[in-house]
Amino acid sequence: MSYAWTGSNQMAAHIKTTLLNTNALSVEPSLMAPKTALLLSLAQRRNEAVMPYLHHSWQELLVSSGLISHYPNIPHSLIYSFDAGIHTVSQTFIPPNYSSIHSHIEVFNQMVNTESEQRKRYIGLFSQAKLESKIGPFQTSPISIIPKPGQSGKFRIIQNLSHPHNTNPVPSINAPINTLQFPCIWGTFATISALIASLPPGTEAVVRDVAEAYRTIPIRQEQWPGLIVRLDGEDCFTVDTCCCFGLASSAE
């Protein structure tokens, strides 16, 4: 996955002084990926959610299984995107990314290329002024990169959507999200072991891993201002249109 957990983890580097605003440059920042991929218009994406699922198949399966009454919003949201509980951003807040970004800048740039050019989940490359003219005030969350334990050359991208950890100068993106509205129950080892032990002889099981599960969930356009990613440079931003692992509503 492109993102990992966030919150009170202390592995990220020291935070620099936060900035409420940055100065918009008089020229467009240089592109980090092919222009045709990065400059996909916001207007087009609002009508074309990026996700790998077939909404009509979900509709048919939920109806045939009798589960549509329990999950009535899934087919509609697969077409028009999901509510992640992100509140309206009232003022632009642009804290700096952690210094580990600069230590692993090639890894970071490759992630941006993948998200924009290949996955189409990032839209555009904007200055602060241009982005505000299109979506209004926005908020970024500090990003850091750490090596994956025991995996040489592999890194984990951490987006701290719980920054800042108090309401000064603004609340974090995670702070106003009511996680009770996004319930998720995880089975403990003891629970799963008891379930397997209770199954009759001859029972077969299968494990299914959904690659980049959270990143395949499109988020409503009015909540995009809370998912802006600060790129390398003083005035470079891109719009993330999909759910990320560090979001409080991601059932992590």
All structural domains of the chain with their residue ranges: 35-50+82-180+210-250
Quick one: pLDDT at residue 156?
Answer: 83
CA–CA separation, 171 and 168 (whole Å): 7
Which CATH number is 35-50+82-180+210-250's, of 2.70.98.10, 3.10.10.10, 3.40.30.10, 3.40.800.10?
3.10.10.10
Extract the tokens encoding 155. Answer: 């890194």
Buried/exposed code over 120-155 (b: 16+ C-beta within 10 A; e: otherwise): ebbbbbbbbebbbebbeebbbbbbbbbeeeeeeeeb
Cα distances (angstroms) measured from residue 43 to each of 29, 39, 84: 21, 11, 20
- Find residue 229's DSSP bridge partners: 238
How far is it, in rounded angstroms, from Cα 81 to Cα 73?
A: 10
Q: Which two tokens stand for residue 221?
A: 């356009």
3-state secondary structure 128-166: HHHHHHHHCCCEECCEEEEECCCCCCCEEEEECCCCCCC
Identity at 203, one-letter amino acid code: T
pTM for this model (two decimals): 0.75
The pLDDT, as a whole number, for residue 12 is 45
pLDDT in tens, the chain (252 residues): 444 444 444 444 444 444 444 433 334 444 444 444 344 567 777 767 778 888 899 999 999 999 999 999 999 898 889 999 999 999 999 999 999 999 999 999 999 999 999 988 999 899 999 999 999 999 999 999 988 888 888 888 888 999 999 888 899 999 999 988 888 777 789 988 898 899 999 998 888 777 677 888 999 999 999 999 999 888 999 999 999 888 999 865
What is the C-alpha separation between 6 and 177, in angstroms, rounded?
A: 14
Give the per-residue pLDDT at 251: 66
- How many Cβ atoms sit within 10 Å of the Cβ of residue 45? 20
| Beta-strand relationship, 237-240 and 143-147 | unpaired
